[in-house]
Structure 1
Amino acid sequence: MTAQPIRQHESERVPRNAEGIAAALSGAQRMEFYRELLAAAPEQAKGVLLRWWGEAMLDTDPQADARADAVLAGSVPTISLDDLLARRRAAGLHVD
């Protein structure tokens, strides 16, 4: 018998690179993204890419409307900060 993952891996909707991010953004957002990326110092470029990747992922989320409705209805599952930090520590993740 072989083990199967509970949740199938899905490729990211938006590739984590400048080309992928730009392709997912609207015209005005794309221009702003490129403006920020080109103006960024080399040590700031990663932060610009991460911020805009997050924006692109949110903008392309096929469940965005359902998620917004759940937030407004107060039906989104929540977790306390203490529990979240405990989970991160248990997983060996960085906690500041």
Structure 2
Amino acid sequence: MTAQPIHEHEPERVPRNAEGIAAALSGAQRMEFYRELLAARPEQARGVLLRWWGEAMLDTDPEADARADAVLAGTVSTVSVDELVARRRAAGLPVD
């Protein structure tokens, strides 16, 4: 059995590179992203890219309003950290 993503993005809504991330962000966010990326040490750059990619994905989520309403209504399904780690391990994904 293999794990599949819940929502596939083909092609990805936000490419996982600096250009794709910057294109998805608003002007003020884009400036902050570039400021952080340019100030990051090489070993920190990956973390900056991952954090801002997540921000860009959230900002461009076409279901964001419905998801926020579900959170506020308390109807969003949840998963424990242990279960999430187990799923990632089963899929061969990193858990660190």
1:45–1:8 distance in 2 versus 1, CA, 3 Å = closer
What RMSD, in angstroms, separates the aligned Cα atoms of the two structures?
Answer: 1.9
Q: For residues 24 and 51 of structure 1, what CA distance do their matches in structure 2 show?
A: 13
Q: For residues 52 and 88 of structure 1, what CA distance do their matches in structure 2 show?
A: 22
Percent of pairs identical after alignment? 86
1:45–1:83 distance in 2 versus 1, CA, 3 Å = closer
Where does structure 2 lack aligned partners over 5 or more consecutive residues? 1-6
Which residue of structure 2 lines up, in the alignment, with residue 61 of structure 1? 61
- Aligned to 2:31, what secondary structure does the other structure show? helix
Q: For residues 34 and 8 of structure 2, what CA distance do their matches in structure 1 show?
A: 33
Q: Is residue 37 of structure 1 aligned with residue 37 of structure 2?
A: yes
Where does structure 1 lack aligned partners over 5 or more consecutive residues? 1-6
How many pairs are equivalent?
Answer: 90
Report the residue type matching 2:46 in the other structure: K
Q: For residues 32 and 68 of structure 1, what CA distance do their matches in structure 2 show?
A: 25
TM-score by length of 1: 0.80
